Amino acid sequence: MPDGLTALQEIGIHLDPRYAIPFEGIRFLGDGREVGARFGSGSGLGIRRTTLHEQLLERATQEGVSMRWGVSVDHITPQTAQIGTQEVRYRWLACADGQNSRLRKQAGLDSVRTLGRRYGFRRHYQIAPWSNSVEVHWGDCGQLYITPTASNEICVAFITAVPNLRLHQGLRDFPEVERRLRGCVPKTREQGAITSTMKVRAVHNGRIALLGEASGSVDAVTGEGLSTAFRQAKAFVNGVKYGDLNRYEADHRRIMRRPRAMARLLLMMDRNLGIRRRVLRALSSDPGLFARLLDIHTGMLSPAEFGLHGALSLGWGLVTA
């Protein structure tokens, strides 16, 4: 998303556009309704996760970061970390080992509250993107995301609360997309992961900090997972710069506030058919309202700037939809 690209640039990383494709906005489709808006802050970028990792790794190597592949961090204390067979003393330790972080527990930060869990699946298909936006298709079984990742490739992702449902089965709930993909060559196998909304009571202890999903997460419906991690990285660096991870703790709470609020709203649409239909009807009748909400989602517009008028417009739209 545009805010994620900005966060990357602020820590000195400029993604190579030759290995990605821009998209201009977001489209919601569902229940016979459709509404879309362009970003007010430039374009987003569709990129394979493996390609993103390669570019991040290249930049880190240029900065002199030493990588230790094939070894694990097995034990940490307030001053040392056991990396394979070597005990390493550290000044600052960033733990970014995912939702099921082992280091979080060792750091005494494992007071975690999981607020919701869903299941996500994705696959790439060899077909030219038919839209210059990311499409979010809403159905009774979940959401289907269509993201361009190259001039001749798209990523199809499916998120659902139904444990035994897979992408190829979920496609049946989206006949228009299923028709477009009929006969297309899959370029990757179907892969899955659990997506959850998780809150951690504290994200630092002394000179140890949690980053990324180790520090809490929001449901993938927001599309904000990477963006929040990049902003957290900058906030952690600032905390180290000033020698105060309390600063990072406060910045982390601020960074997560907006994605968590948006996740609550979007998941309400997922769980309640009546609310989803009303929201889609209201937004499709007032595309300008959808554009302003998208600006809030990407940090271009604050809720205060959205203001009373925007809230009343949305409320009236829901009442009359």
Q: What residue ranges define each of the domains in the chain, with the CATH number in brackets?
A: 2-305 (3.50.50.60)
Q: What is the band of 307 on the pLDDT scale with cuts at 50, 70, 90? A: low
Residue 60 pLDDT level (bands cut at 50, 70, 90): very high
Closest CA to 266 of 143, 174, 134: 143
The better pLDDT of the pair 160, 261 is held by 160
The whole-model pTM stands at: 0.88
Q: Which burial class, exposed, middle or buried, applies to 112 when counting CB atoms under 10 A from its CB (0-12, 13-18, 19+)?
A: middle
Contact 146, 28 (CB under 8 A): no
Packing angle of the helix pair 287-297, 273-285 (nearest 10 deg) = 110
As a whole number of Å, the end-to-end CA separation of the chain is 30
pLDDT band at 312 (very low <50, low <70, confident <90, very high): very low
Q: Is 5 exposed, middle or buried (0-12, 13-18, 19+ CB in 10 A)?
A: buried
Pairing label, strands 133-139, 25-30: parallel
List % helix, strand, coil for the chain (3-state, nearest 5): 45, 30, 30
Tell me how far apart the alpha carbons of residues 199 and 79 are, in angstroms, rounded to a whole number. Answer: 26
CB of 165 closer than 8 Å to CB of 174: no
Question: What stretch of H or E contains 46?
Answer: strand 44-46
Between CA 231 and CA 256 the distance in angstroms is 10
Q: How confident is the model at residue 313 (pLDDT cuts 50, 70, 90)?
A: low
User: What is the model's pLDDT at position 304?
Assistant: 64
pLDDT of residue 303: 65
The per-residue pLDDT for 216 is: 93
Quick one: pLDDT at residue 223? 84
**Which residues are paired to 135 by β-bridges?**
27, 146
pLDDT beyond 70 at 161: yes
Give the pair of three-digit tokens for residue 214: 């180790």
Q: Which of 38-52, 188-202, 287-301 has the lowest mean pLDDT?
A: 287-301
Query: Is the pLDDT reported for residue 57 higher than 50?
Result: yes
Q: State the Cα–Cα distance between residues 321 and 285, nearest whole angstrom.
A: 9
With beta carbons less than 8 A apart as the criterion, state whether 202 and 109 touch.
yes
